Amino acid sequence: MTVKEKIIRHLITMDDLTNEEIMTIIEEAKSFKEVLTRDIKKVPALRGKTVVLLFFESSTRTKISFELAAKRLSADVVNFSASTSSLKKSESLKDTVRTIEAMAADIFVMRHSYPGSTQLVAKYIKGSVLNGGDGAHSHPTQALLDMYTIYEKKKRFKDLKVAIIGDIKHSRVVRSDIEGLTRMGANVVLCGPSTLLPRYIEQFNVGVTYNVEEAIKDADVVMGLRIQFERQEQGLFPSVLEYSQFFQINRPRLKKAKPDVLLMHPGPINRGVELESEVADSVYSVIDEQVTNGVAVRMSLLYFLAGGKDEQVTD
Amino acid sequence: MKVKTQIMTKEEMFRSLKRVAHEIIEQHNGAKNLVILGIQRRGVPLGKIIKEEIEASENKKVPFGVLDITLYRDDLSTIGNAPRVNATDIPFDLNGKDVILVDDVLYTGRTIRAALDEIMDFGRPANIEVAVLIDRGHRELPILGNFIGKKIPTSKNEIIEVKLQEIDKKYGVFIVEKDSPVSNKKEKPKPTKKKPVRSLKKPVNTKKARKK
């Protein structure tokens, strides 16, 4: 008699998913997107499961997106906010998550400003941990929704030129995007001032340029990244005005891309800094769609992980 | 898994579906208020055949939609694998309509139960009826088929395989003996012994867990 045992899956980096699994999540997201267009935007797939949102760092879209995704799958959602918690009474991170887990939670969505913190928590608890962003390390669900948005429009990843422009150094989104997109065969080109490009980044199988026109030329996808003023030590570039003159994605520069280029941005946008305001609202922009797709992709992911795809026969 | 017998040929399948279509028309005095929903996956091509037959006979368009019941299944928390989700596409209003649900095999009735729940989330039809190609018995819920192509008494060790051109590249209905793990999705996994939902011991994020 074989007994199948469920393996609890975490999603800390894109490395936790195989290429095949990424495609499953992306392809099924379409069905979940359809659920979002119904009058009653709710399906009973995760009834009885509890999803805890552990946000130790501020967030608008990721948190709301995960919350809606979980609620639309009929899971119960518990919100945890660091500022009103016992962390203020100096409870440790480990004790905090253990306490919450003791109240029977199944899936933890966590954001924290420390790289690796989600990995650490995954070791302490029995439920699935989904990384909602840890420092500048990784943000896999953003990568999945970016990939879904690209796939929905282009129907492929192979040989697409994806130009990512802006603050590469402080971006967790870009690390996950690079991982996912290059594995699927896209050509990723990074661009930004040399102070915002980490050293040795070429080793991740990406092109690097300091010339924004060259990055955008013939691109299928142009992605702007937010200049993260809150993570910046002083002096990485002389002034915002100078940055926008050299690196802003604006209309003349975007003309150099393919005519059916997609303009993406993980948000929040600094209008007039990394994106010209008109460009952000242009026909090329899929920035709002990225947000809608985020809910669908996270539903797809929650459904996938709650089911526990990977099984092992233990006899 | 070995094929025991073929119980329907292509011609017999089409003859049955034709009869089902005409029974539907008869019961409804035409096709005025009808809509047809095919249940993913094999109910979809079957539903289309019935729809075309009704349209040809009544000379009137019948709205056709596709229903995927995966997210409404009652065994999602007990089976290991998250079953693949297919598309649901109902591009019309269901309120006040006479809905005909089409599937290939009526067995436990659980698929129809899930479909009923899903339809209710889309609106309030005047009534819902079930049309299937094969009724094989063994109902686990108080659900009945209103229009049935063929009734076949089966044992629970058997699987009915309905083959359709769009999916399987051929037509035919077969009885198959169940032994090894079976590819046919129709079979509900038996509730085996309560398995541990999760294990503490399993290492996470190891190479083993991701096997690329």
> Which residue segments constitute the domains of chain B, with CATH numbers given?
2-210 (3.40.50.2020)
CB B116 within 8 A of CB B132: no
Rank A101-105, A198-202, B37-41 by mean pLDDT and report only the highest.
B37-41
Provide mean pLDDT across the span A38-60: 91
Banded model confidence at residue A234, pLDDT cuts 50, 70, 90:
low
Given this model, what pLDDT does residue A310 score? 41
CA distance A303 to A262: 28
Cβ of A303 within 8 Å of Cβ of B71? The answer is yes
Question: Which residue among A3, A119, A300 places its CB closest to the CB of B195?
Answer: A3
Provide mean pLDDT across the span A99-106: 87
Given this model, what pLDDT does residue B1 score? 66
- What is the DSSP annotation of B126-188? SEEEEEEEEE----SSS---SEEEEE----TTEEEEEE-HHHHSS-EEEEEE--S----TTSP
- What ipTM was predicted for this assembly? 0.80
pLDDT digits (tens, 9 = 90+) for A1-33: 444 556 778 999 999 999 999 999 999 999 999
Determine the residue of chain B that is closest to A11 in CA distance.
B205
**Which residues does chain B have within 8 Å of residue A6's beta carbon, measured at their own beta carbons?**
80, 195-199
Cβ of B121 within 8 Å of Cβ of A38? The answer is yes
Task: Give the mutation candidate from A7, A72, A182, A300 for the B interface (greatest B CB count, under 10 A).
Answer: A7
Running DSSP on this structure, what letter comes out for residue A60?
S
Given this model, what pLDDT does residue B85 score? 92
Provide mean pLDDT across the span A89-112: 88
The mean predicted confidence, pLDDT, of chain A is 89
Choice among A66-75, A108-117, B182-191 with the minimum mean pLDDT: B182-191
To the nearest whole Å, the CA of B149 is away from the closest chain A CA by 30
Question: Which ranges of chain B have pLDDT less than 70?
Answer: 1, 80, 180-212
The domains found in chain A, sorted by start residue, are 4-139+292-308 (3.40.50.1370), 141-286 (3.40.50.1370)
Cβ of B202 within 8 Å of Cβ of A7? The answer is yes
Running DSSP on this structure, what letter comes out for residue A8?
P
pLDDT at position A289 over 60: yes
* Residues belonging to chain B with any Cβ–Cβ distance to chain A shorter than 8 Å: 68, 70-72, 76-77, 79-89, 117-118, 121-123, 192-193, 195-200, 202, 204-205, 209-212
pLDDT at position A314 over 90: no
Closest among A200, A205, A176, A173 to A189, alpha carbons compared: A205
Residues contacting B96, CB < 8 A, separation 6+: B33, B124, B125, B126
Closest among A191, A68, A60 to A133, alpha carbons compared: A60
How far is CA B157 from each of CA A53, B107, B139, B153, B179, rounded to the nearest angstrom?
45, 13, 15, 12, 8
**Which residues does chain B have within 8 Å of residue A307's beta carbon, measured at their own beta carbons?**
76, 79-83
Q: What residue type is A172 in one-letter code?
A: R
Given this model, what pLDDT does residue A90 score? 75
Question: Which residue among A4, A126, A307 places its CB closest to the CB of B195?
Answer: A4
Given this model, what pLDDT does residue B191 score? 53
